[in-house]
């Protein structure tokens, strides 16, 4: 399968899985406002797909929330099967994506360094100011 088509399939599955997740989990007392489908990586034979899910604001219960999503994977997969026409409906494997939280942590560290004046000193050491051009003689 061409790379371009696989990219399109991944984006389509990302959208459909997010919609299916919303439909399946809405009536089950699940806090969907903190769950985001961040990406889908489908195998080249379309038989499996890794679905990356970010869970925000529930740091202590991320594993439990992911387990509940995994428990309804078959229902979500059935909706995907009915919504998307592919040679095979990929088997969905849900995994926790912590990249957003890691990015937030890096931004927090940089912000702290900037407030304490450490970031400016580090910038000056890496990128010394270039001397200004002398004024043209008149």
Q: Does the global pTM surpass 0.85?
A: no
Summarised one tens digit per residue, pLDDT across range 12-71 is 999 999 999 999 887 777 777 778 899 999 999 999 999 999 887 766 778 888 898 899
pLDDT for res 124: 47
pLDDT for res 128: 52
pLDDT for res 106: 78
Q: Pick the more confident residue, 12 or 118.
A: 12
pLDDT of 129 higher than 90:
no
Contacts 24+ apart (CB under 8 A), 87-90: 87/46, 88/45, 88/46, 88/47, 90/13, 90/42, 90/43, 90/46, 90/47, 90/48, 90/49
Asked if residue 32 lies in contact with residue 22, where contact means CB atoms within 8 angstroms, the answer is yes
DSSP code at position 87: S
Summarised one tens digit per residue, pLDDT across range 78-114 is 999 999 988 889 999 999 987 766 667 677 788 777 7
**What tokens does 112 get?**
């702290």
Domains and CATH numbers, the chain: 3-98 (3.30.300.20)
Q: Which band of pLDDT confidence, cut at 50, 70 and 90, is reported for residue 1?
A: low
């Amino acid at each position: 399968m061409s790379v371009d088509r696989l990219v399109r399939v991944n984006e389509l599955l990302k959208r459909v899985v997010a919609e299916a997740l919303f439909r399946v989990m809405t009536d089950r007392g699940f806090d969907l406002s903190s769950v985001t489908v961040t990406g889908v990586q489908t195998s080249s034979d379309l038989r499996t797909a890794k679905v990356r899910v970010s869970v925000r604001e529930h740091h202590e219960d991320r594993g439990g929330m992911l387990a509940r999503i995994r428990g309804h994977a078959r229902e979500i997969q059935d909706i995907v099967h009915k919504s998307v026409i592919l040679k095979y409906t990929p088997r969905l494997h849900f995994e926790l994506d912590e990249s957003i939280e890691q990015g937030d942590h890096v931004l927090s560290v940089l912000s702290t360094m900037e407030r304490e004046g450490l970031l400016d000193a580090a910038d000056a050491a890496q990128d010394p100011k270039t001397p200004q051009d002398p004024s043209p003689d008149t």
